[in-house]
Amino acid sequence: MTETARDSASWLAPMELDPGQAMRTPVEATASGGRPGGEAAAVLGRLRWPLAGSALVGAIAAMILLGLAFDAANLLQRAFAAGAVFGALVVALIAVAVGTTLKLALDEWASLRRLRRIEGLRSDAERLGTIAGYGEATRFADSLAAFYVDRPELVPAFGALRRSISDAHDDGEVVRLIDRQVLAPLDHQAYRCVVKGARDIALATALCPSAALDVAIVLWRNLRLVREVATLYGARPGQFGSIRLMKRMLTNLAVAGVAESAQHVAVDALGGNLAAAVSTRLGQGMINGLLTARIGIAAMHLCRPIAFSPDNQPSLRKIRSELMSVPRQVL
Amino acid sequence: MRLTKLNRLSNAGEWAFDRVSDLVGNLTETNLRLGVTGLRRAGKTVFVTSLIDNLLKAGRLPFLDVVASNRYQAARLRPHPDVTVPRFDYERHLAAITGTQPGWPEPTRGLQQIRVSIRFVPGSTLRRTVQPLSTLNLDIVDYPGEWLLDLPLMELPYGVWSQGVLDLAERPPRAALAAAWRHWLGTVSADLRADEAQLREGARLYTDYLHACRRSSANLSVVQPGRFVEPGDLAGAPLLTFCPLPDTGREHRRESLWALMEQRFEAYKSEVVRRFFVEHFSRLNRQIVLVDLLGALTAGPGSLDDMRSALVASLQAFRHGRSGWLERLIGGRIDRVLFAATKADHVAASQHGNLCNLLDLLLSDARRAMRFEGAQVGTVALAALKCTETVKTEHQGRQLSCVQGTPVGRDKPTVLYPGEIPDSLDLFPDEAARPYTFLDFLPPTGAGRDGRGLPNIRLDQALNHLLGDYFA
């Protein structure tokens, strides 16, 4: 093959090259970074607690901790004065208390880190889906597989994924494949959880005689639903983690338009079935159920490592029809 | 006169009966005719073979929704109800590709047809309650690509066609190939009384010219009429003894050379072209247009223009548009078309986007016309059989995306940098340089031995565009 002269220096004539030097495609390591959203985070950071507020909380917490430490030391002295056996017992109790506190804190920290990892995966997936590139998406698949390493039920899905990815797929296609082959079954399970949660709440509110108990049940079941969904997607939130998740989701509900409007909910509930209009309790149950469903779906949106695309978003339709059958079950 | 009327009436009756029986059949099973359209060497036979193989084994179709959602039951080959057309020899073609010495199937010489029946679980709950398992009968026709170029003839009178062919034959690179035939044209007069021998001689020289066009390195596509080079079952028939003549502008006498040739041309149109069209193309529901862009790019600008005009002319014959449920049942219009740049495995994967873009740009007029009629049009870069792997290699300090595979006629794999496909129509900026070299590669050894179907590039996405809504 002859090299042909051409104006631009970057142009290359077609040629054959030495097969010995060729490498398989996904090879070059690119710096993972340049995540979008850094600026937004900085802006949001400014909206955080004022410095004085955190100083106040920190000081009070430190005082309480110090007080506890002094008390513990005091207790220890008195216990040893009473006898070596008491002393040993108190030492053991303190050790258990400190150990469990540490463990809980570590768990919370780990769960927060997992949530953050999911956010990282989501922004990676978004970037890969919009820019047509090659070779990076297989690394994304690897990091997703690493994220789900403790989920044996996903191993076959990852195996199928690995078989269907070829070197001809671009990054966007690989992300779509992951979406279909690994996450779609999870979506299915999560959706079933949401349907079940919504039904439970609708039934419970409809049957529960006292309003206070009602509120408690709704809160508890919603928290459980969020944890279930988050665990399915691998977020595994701890107690505080799920409360945080819940908080973020409530803001999400208002902001992201997951709930079209409250009046829509009412129409769904009231117009859908005569029984609902007849019995206020039933109507309340359906509204609560629909709200729960919305919260569950918001949790799905929040915990999924790849954002939903317009054509695979979970819809409220099935949940509505499920809820419409609640009055019949009650009556 | 009366007899022909009666004949026509009975034809209409037959047609109506056919439609009614189709309709009844449609209530239980859906029939879908997929038109695989493509010029010579566009890869129709390999496409159909790979399509059938992949549908039967369904192991490499992750983007076909019905497979991805686990509703795909199975597919199998079933005898076609139309028993007069030879069956597409899927097994032999597959054996050629997957044998110990992999090679490409022989070019198609005649018309062939095959039916694949696909069973699937319907997606909608309503349909599931009525019919727990649905069946889709996919009918595919394979034919020599040369015949496709006959379709534009249907609209042309003899004089206009002749003028077009003669104009084309005057210009390079065809002028040299047509020398003998054009010399003969100089020796005869269209107005004089002619005999059979003269007709035969003209047709022979013209056929030689067409064969020369086909063989030429310029990879010429406009070769009309197609039966001259691929006669099928018509070899030696008097129908094929005519050729274009220069129009003298005078009234042509009966029995003159012109009159005889015109008569045969009209007979060719009605007996061969129109029949071929009515029997196989007029009832298509979906169409995929396979375009071998890379072959045309390798051959040069002349070949590319030639191919484009051939494709645009042939596509005008088809009826595109939105079809309602009634039209769907009786087979009215083509409501989805997919343009496919074939042999995408001949370039590195990073070039597929540009390849697809280029096809879009080249056929934008045809696409617009189809979309205007209401059809859904898509474009994809695909390879029915993936023969190469994309590799990276270094050359003078630069990372190049290349393809690795065994070229036809060699026994050792090579790494080829075929040139970069630009993202605009600025394809041949420098006349002297050869910017592209796309080698033909052999099928990979051991293809399809894993039982998941032949390896392919985006066949599943193509199928999803073409058939997706039938699996709803």
In order of their start, the domains of chain B are: 31-146+278-386+449-471 (3.40.50.300), 151-274 (no CATH)
| Among candidate residues A313, A266, A258, the one with its CA nearest the CA of residue A288 | A266
From CA A164, how far away is CA A22, in angstroms rounded?
23
pLDDT of residue A7: 46
CB-based contact A19 B62, cutoff 8 Å: no
Interface test mutation site (partner A, options B57, B67, B390, B423, max chain A beta carbons within 10 A): B390
Q: What are the structure tokens assigned to A43, written together? A: 């802006």
Q: Taking the CA atoms of A122, A125, A130 and A136 in sequence, report the sign of the dihedral they define.
A: positive
pLDDT of residue B252: 73
Asked if A17's CB is within 8 angstroms of B416's CB, the reply is: yes
Task: Look at residue A66 in the predicted model and tell me its pLDDT.
Answer: 94
Look at B386 and A21 and tell me if their CB atoms are within 8 Å: no
**The pLDDT value given to residue B118:** 94
The C-alpha atoms of residue A262 and residue B43 are separated, in whole angstroms, by 57
The partner residues of A187 in beta bridges, in order of sequence, read none
Query: pLDDT tens digits for chain A (331 residues)?
Result: 333 434 455 667 777 777 777 766 543 333 333 333 344 444 444 555 678 888 999 999 999 999 999 998 999 899 989 888 988 999 999 999 999 999 988 888 888 888 888 888 888 888 887 777 777 888 888 888 888 888 888 888 888 888 888 888 888 888 888 988 889 889 989 998 998 888 888 888 877 777 778 778 888 888 888 888 888 888 877 666 677 777 766 665 554 344 344 445 555 555 555 555 456 677 777 778 888 888 888 888 888 888 888 878 887 777 777 777 766 666 6
CA nearest to B431 within chain A: A6
Give backbone dihedrals phi and psi of B62, rounded to 5 degrees, phi first. Answer: -65, -25
Q: pLDDT tens, B317-335?
A: 888 877 665 555 555 688 8
- What pLDDT score was predicted for residue A322? 74
pLDDT of residue A122: 87
Chain B residues with CB-CB distance to A25 below 8 A: 349, 389-392, 401
- The answer to whether the CB atoms of A12 and B416 lie below 8 A apart is no
Alpha helices for chain A (secondary structure H): 38-46, 51-82, 84-130, 136-147, 155-164, 171-178, 184-207, 211-232, 239-255, 262-272, 274-278, 280-303, 317-324, 326-330
Asked if B63 and A176 come within 8 Å (Cβ–Cβ), the reply is yes
Residue A243 identity: I
pLDDT at B377: 92
- Which of chain A's residues have a Cβ under 8 Å away from the Cβ of B412? 19
**Exposed, middle or buried: residue A223 (CB in 10 Å: 0-12, 13-18, 19+)?**
middle
Instruction: Please report which helix (H) or strand (E) contains residue B378, including its range.
Output: strand B376-381
Paired sense of beta strands B72-78 and B112-120, if any: antiparallel
Contact A22 B391 (CB under 8 A): yes
- SS3 for A241-300 is HHHHHHHHHHHHHHHCCCCCCHHHHHHHHHHHCHHHHHCHHHHHHHHHHHHHHHHHHHHH
The minimum CA-CA distance between B359 and chain A, rounded to whole Å, is 18
- pLDDT at position B380 is 93
What residue of A is the nearest CA neighbor of B429?
A6
pLDDT given for residue B278 in this prediction: 83
> Residue A306 carries which side chain, given as an amino acid letter?
I
Helix-helix angle A211-232:A239-255, to 10 degrees: 100
Tell me how far apart the alpha carbons of residues A45 and A98 are, in angstroms, rounded to a whole number: 32
3-state secondary structure at position B309: helix
pLDDT of residue A57: 92
Cα separation, B111 vs A121, in Å, equals 52
All residues at 6 or more sequence positions from B408 whose CB lies less than 8 Å from its CB, including other chains? B104, B439, B440, B441, B442
Report pLDDT for B146: 83
Comparing alpha-carbon positions, the chain A residue that sits nearest to B407 is: A16
Tell me what pLDDT residue A235 has: 81
Residues with Cβ within 8 Å of B145's Cβ and at least 6 positions away in sequence, in order, are: B38, B39, B40, B41, B42, B44, B108
Single pTM value for the model: 0.80
Low-confidence ranges of chain B (pLDDT < 70): 1-15, 17-27, 323-332, 430-433
Is the CB of A4 inside 8 Å of chain B's CB atoms? yes
